[in-house]
Structure 1
């Protein structure tokens, strides 16, 4: 799950992102050309809304993707209309990391946090990776990152994440997070209650967490290799999924598989001694439980409510909507002829 991966990487970088919020951010990367084969621009409708219901109470669900075409503007008319009738908006599930440290504590932690991002003993990627894997990295780094020598001392997990981010920008894609921001703004304009579905992780001893991470860091070579696979082969598919989202083409979203490079990364993180030591090796399950509880509460309390979910949780046969279907809720996709997600074989993920 994206929310888990993003949140747990924040834990691994421990307090680094929060500390860096106190310094001047780097300039944004300049715009790049979109992939011509899937070029989509201008105002687009996005996908329709999934209808979750029991009796006469309805939860309308907007599925989102992590990346969208850079030149697209989303027309939010349908969401705006249902928010005008809604009692609550459920935000996407997210791991919220709270570091118990004041402003100066964060500043003092920053150098140590940044050192946790680096390989032990000052080793380079060339020293810690198998030679064929490093050769692939060198080619992709030259294409998407350029002459950045500092990244050569990062742990594979962090280097892979930066490569993936830069490759997406190069492919004419931008973050899909603006969709959530837009929907939240519309909800606030309508006076709709905004409901967080975050799972909060409190870090009370950040220095101790840094020590644990350095001693029990994840084995992240598999994550690194799968990320290189994705950059080498999946970018056109990711761009096609982004274009399908923008134009509301649900059939194409169903037909095009998601890139699963995250699975290897999530496995490396959640199976590590670091995650087990902190008790965060089942964050995906906890996120799911929080969201399902919030969804059932909204459906019971309000005649109309709205939720934002990652598209994988909307479409997957083991996703959140499938879990609601297994609990007896009626799921209706926006394309009338499509099938409802099949209930999962078990409640676990």
Structure 2
């Protein structure tokens, strides 16, 4: 998972802000291209599944996951695995984490990518407004006009159940429609983006004057208007794949998302399974990271570059500090491109929580 700050085509709009994106594609998973209208899920299927699963509720303070430990000699890197979404209103017992942060000489933050523009304040406001316009389909077309018939049948079946009958959404780009469906489903499950965990770590570091090390790949676009033009020409093909992958997730993977959130809250690391969710994350992320826009600003293979930056920062921290605390998305800890596995392969000892 790469944390993104800057101008990004994802979520419910193009905006100036930040969003976390999934990093790896699940092996053996592919985009469903041959879905027929006859096999499209009924709109009630997704909603009924949510009702059967039930809204996530947690009572009392939850422990959250125990920490990974990376060592070399007498130097230690403690790693807290973050996860999103989490249960609404989660009360997290952060006592152990706060004590680890206080005892550290540095906090290694989430891996991130940022892209800014060389422009004055007024220009940025103008560009921000223009980017919001890019959330609509080219030439004022509707989703029915830009989607394959089978994909539109799937969207039309699910959309009223999660988003109501607002006809304005019919003019959104497929990726915006996808994120709208996904966010609405999470809300009905009682899940949401939780900033509580990261806020606690950041506030503890600040209060105790512990340096925050941000492993970031940063790019500045020198021709913002050209950037805008390229953004408007991002192909819809990848976005259609993103919408189909999202519909697959809503139909098949909501139980996994729900159980992951509960497992994280309860400190059950073994109960968190992200492999089935990587496909949607990667497909939707590729809409932006694989676009002509990124090539125009001279950026390629963002994920590998950000991974390398994080690993270099972690290696430096382990060499310089007796104790370092790190936050890392769970998707970067598990799987074939695990950051911690890379450290282990470089000679560090990695101890997973039991």
Shift of 1:259: 4.9
Alpha-carbon deviations, 1:214-263, whole Å to 9, x = none? 23435221111001111222122101000000001112115974453112
Q: Which residue, 266, 286, 305 being the options, matches 2:305?
A: 286
Counterpart for residue 26 of structure 2: none
Counterpart for residue 137 of structure 2: 119
Change in 2 beyond 3 A, CA 1:254/1:128: closer
Q: Which residue, 227, 239, 244 being the options, matches 1:209?
A: 227
Q: Which runs of 5+ in 1 are unaligned?
A: 19-31, 336-349
Q: Which runs of 5+ in 2 are unaligned?
A: 19-49
Give RMSD over aligned pairs: 2.7
Alpha-carbon deviations, 1:179-205, whole Å to 9, x = none? 111111112222211111222121222
Alpha-carbon deviations, 1:86-144, whole Å to 9, x = none? 00011111222323222211222233212222111111111101122112212322122
Query: Matches of 1:100 and 1:234 in 2, distance apart?
Result: 41
Tell me, what secondary structure is at the counterpart of 2:272? helix
Counterpart for residue 172 of structure 2: 154
- Provide the TM-score with structure 2 as the length reference: 0.83
Query: Matches of 1:185 and 1:17 in 2, distance apart?
Result: 20
Shifted more, 34-43 versus 228-237: the winner is: 34-43
Change in 2 beyond 3 A, CA 1:332/1:72: same
Shifted more, 203-212 versus 322-331: the winner is: 203-212
Instruction: Show the 5 A alignment for 1:233-248.
Output: 233-248=252-267
Counterpart for residue 143 of structure 1: 161
Q: Which residue, 205, 216, 230 being the options, matches 1:198?
A: 216
Counterpart for residue 230 of structure 1: 249
**Alignment length, in residue pairs?**
322
Change in 2 beyond 3 A, CA 1:134/1:257: closer
Change in 2 beyond 3 A, CA 1:49/1:158: same
Counterpart for residue 64 of structure 2: 46
Structure 1 stretches (4+) deviating beyond 4 angstroms? 4-8, 10-18, 32-35, 254-257
Q: Which residue, 91, 95, 98 being the options, matches 2:113?
A: 95
Tell me, what secondary structure is at the counterpart of 1:9? strand
Change in 2 beyond 3 A, CA 1:16/1:126: farther
- Provide the TM-score with structure 1 as the length reference: 0.84
Tell me, what secondary structure is at the counterpart of 2:80? strand
1:180 matched to 2:190? The reply is no
Instruction: Show the 5 A alignment for 1:1-349.
Output: 1-3=1-3, 8-9=8-9, 17=17, 35-36=53-54, 39-217=57-235, 219=237, 220-254=239-273, 257-335=276-354
Query: Matches of 1:8 and 1:255 in 2, distance apart?
Result: 24
